[in-house]
Structure 1
Amino acid sequence: MPAYRPWSQGYHPYNHPAPVNGLAIASLVFGVLCCLPGVGLVLGLAGLRQIRRRGERGTGLAVGGAALSGAGLALWALLLATGGASALWHGFEDGARGGRTLTPAEGECFDAPGGTLSGDTYDVDKVPCAGAHDGEVFATVTLPGGPYPGDDAVADTADERCRSLEDGYAMDGWAVPRDVDVYYLTPTGDGWAAGDREVTCVFGNTAEGEDLTGSLRNDETVLDADQVAYLRAAHVLNAALDTAPDEEYVEDDLPGHKAWAGRVSAALGEQARMLRAHDWPAGARGPVTALAAGLDKARAQWAKAAQAGDADAFYEHCDTGFDLIDPSRGVAARRALGLATTVPAGDDGSDASLQV
């Protein structure tokens, strides 16, 4: 009976090819991604050693992965040496913040995309304040950490904080045009998750498409000591007037209005004291002294309003008190000090229009 020769391994019709080395595959993946080039290079070299020892496939993968990783490692080294890595990271960080890249600092002006300060803003161009521009940054605010409070809560906080800071940048409310209002740039939810907590407070024109021209800054860096002293005294009264009760009608909250009148009376006394304490230049001494005397009379009326027994008595003294702090009474002193003299046309007789 003939003997049959068995099939050898080399001639088996279903011979399994040698496996592909896993380190070679991983090396190529890291080389293509370039996220960890050092890892890809190490894996490629280790994969070549295993391939030679085990007879596995994947030499091309290991060589390619090691080459790509080596190039990536050299690129990262170059970026670190030149500072490019930092710039690259900030680019990614800005992207994570929803594209917000407002670069102007306090006192700088800019143009916004489309010339509007509403909606989403992803980039702005700094321009000189002397020429036409869309906005002027007057303050920045850093919000506290914690979970994102929501768009409405962030906007409410931004509005409150920015409006509390506008007088520090534009001390003379009379010098701010009536068509200028406060805007703000706030972080989005995605930006908050990336660490963005900054609110940028901006002056802009309320008329769509209209520009600002010239800087609105008038503070200690622009005004002289006499002008600053006068405006600081005026701000004491304005701050008290801003604390009026939410109830518009006295009949709806007489105790609240009486407490408010007491605060205004105290502020008028402090304003008069500050005006008398300053050493004014000769040309302004007379007008300021006359103004302080008028504030004393106003203080007495507001004090009586604070003690009023009913709404009618409150209205009587409050109306007289308002007449005695009419903004026009401060024009002579302002003219002598070189401040704005055009009385603002306030919508409700509040805020800057009450600076006397």
Structure 2
Amino acid sequence: MATPPPPGPQQPEGPYPPPGTPPYPHAPYPQGPSPQGAYQQGPYAGPYGPWGQPWSPYGQQAPVNGLAIAALVLGILCFLPAVGLVLGIVALVQIRKRGQRGKGMAVAGMVMSSVGVVLLALMVATGGARDFWDGFTEGARGDGSAFSLHKGQCFDTPEGTLEGVAYDVDTVPCSGKHDGEVFAEAKAHDGSYPGDTAVSDEAGDMCYSLVDTYAMDGWAVPDDVDVYYFTPTRQSWGMGDREITCMFGNTDEHGTLTGSLREDSTTLDADQVAYLEAARVLNRAMASAPEEEYVEDDLPGHRRWATRVSGALAEQADLLRGHTFAPAAGERVAALVKDLDRSRAEWAKAAKASDADTFYAHYEKALKIIDPKRTVTTRKALGLATTPPEEDTGGGAGSGGEDGSGIEV
């Protein structure tokens, strides 16, 4: 009669286990990911597991109940807590009947789901659920973040730059240093998301066209200031976001602005507004120059441009004549109107030029008459900025420019 081995985690000495002894289990499967993202092996690295481990047929562990896993996941996420509670109860019944594993997960899921049910009931009773959903949808649209900024607000970004992706900003007084100043809000087109480049191009066109509605006096905008904008992302677009936020920022990536750049009817007097509104008409016509830089490459296009500028000069002169300026500026404005009429005549001749040389001849005379430096005394009398921006002839006729700020009068 063989003497049984003493109790304890001992392995049989012979090459085969005694009759009735279950086969040795294989090493446990990996239990989860390591901090580095790779799976790690269980506590026993050898080919055999510890003695005393519960067995199932053929040396395999009993399967984990799927509903127990689902209950645990829903409990952790607090998502549909009532469903997680029900799944946990059903999982316990199945585990007991089928001999499956996962009792701990089912119980944990039930406990956390029960807490979720209580919290959900409190939120519904106090109105917190509605507040939570409103906050979630506003966050998805960008409200409460960089995209909720409004015209006239100044702000700082956490990174101190307007490049890249913005997740949040801090509004600050415009009187001190700041990273950006919002000057306009616009809406992108409807439809499917056209891509990052298309959205950026649309935002650029919109924002540049709105600059002079906020900073009417282009001469007062420093040369190191440029236009930036926040645009919807692909994800926020899918939730209905079409907000484009236009802003001023320093051309130096980490530079700042100091003081507000706002120059409109809220900060200017009636004479200043009348003068700048008339100047805007010419500036926008100058900005409509043909894409072809040289007249030789597109004479018809430049002739049409000259026609637009001639018409703008006539409109500008009429606006100035129609406003009664204070005596201190009235005389200077009257002299300016005469110059506008003379320049308009030269632009009209350029519009009828039969060749590039004739166009250039009238074009150069027209520009000389409305040279920005000739308007300094008028601006001084009106109390406006008197330092012309960097040289820019407004595009076309070999200038290579794109806007009319250098021609503003």
Distance 1:249 1:61 in 2: 76
Aligned residues: 340
* Change in CA separation of 1:50 and 1:252 when aligned onto 2, cut-off 3 Å: closer
The range that moved more, 88-97 or 265-274, is 88-97
**Other-structure match for 1:34:** 78
**Other-structure match for 1:72:** 116
The range that moved more, 222-231 or 27-36, is 27-36
SS at match of 1:140: strand
Distance 2:338 2:318 in 1: 10
**Other-structure match for 1:282:** 327
Distance 2:159 2:259 in 1: 20
Deviations 1:297-319 (A, max 9, x none): 11111111111121111111111
Offset at residue 273 of structure 1 (A): 0.3
Task: Say whether 1:145 aligns with 2:190.
Answer: yes
Q: 1:236 aligns with which of 281, 286, 308?
A: 281
Deviations 1:49-76 (A, max 9, x none): 9999xxx999987775554333212223
**Other-structure match for 1:355:** 408
Q: Over alpha carbons, which structure has the higher Rg?
A: 2
The amino acid that maps onto 1:134 is D
Offset at residue 210 of structure 1 (A): 1.8
Distance 1:68 1:221 in 2: 57
Offset at residue 202 of structure 1 (A): 1.3
Deviations 1:65-107 (A, max 9, x none): 554333212223444525476357645874797x974443211
Distance 1:257 1:317 in 2: 12
Distance 2:271 2:141 in 1: 48
Report which of the two has the higher share of helix.
1
Give the percent of matched residue pairs that are identical in Structure 1 and Structure 2. 57
Distance 2:224 2:365 in 1: 30
Offset at residue 191 of structure 1 (A): 3.1
Distance 1:251 1:38 in 2: 76
The range that moved more, 328-337 or 124-133, is 328-337
Contact 1:76 1:85 in 2 (8 A): no
Contact 1:141 1:200 in 2 (8 A): yes
Offset at residue 258 of structure 1 (A): 0.9
Q: How does 1:181-220 map to 2 (within 5 A)?
A: 181-220=226-265
Larger RCO (CA under 8 A, 6+ residues apart): 1
Q: 2:296 aligns with which of 233, 239, 251?
A: 251
SS at match of 1:114: coil
Offset at residue 29 of structure 1 (A): 5.0
Distance 1:57 1:210 in 2: 61
The gaps in structure 2 that reach 5 residues or longer are 1-63, 395-402
Q: TM-score under structure 1 normalisation?
A: 0.83
Task: Say whether 1:122 aligns with 2:175.
Answer: no
SS at match of 1:200: strand
Offset at residue 336 of structure 1 (A): 1.9
Q: 2:339 aligns with which of 294, 299, 316?
A: 294
* Change in CA separation of 1:63 and 1:254 when aligned onto 2, cut-off 3 Å: closer
Distance 1:318 1:61 in 2: 83
The range that moved more, 82-91 or 201-210, is 82-91
SS at match of 1:115: coil
The amino acid that maps onto 2:80 is L
Offset at residue 197 of structure 1 (A): 2.2
Offset at residue 175 of structure 1 (A): 0.6
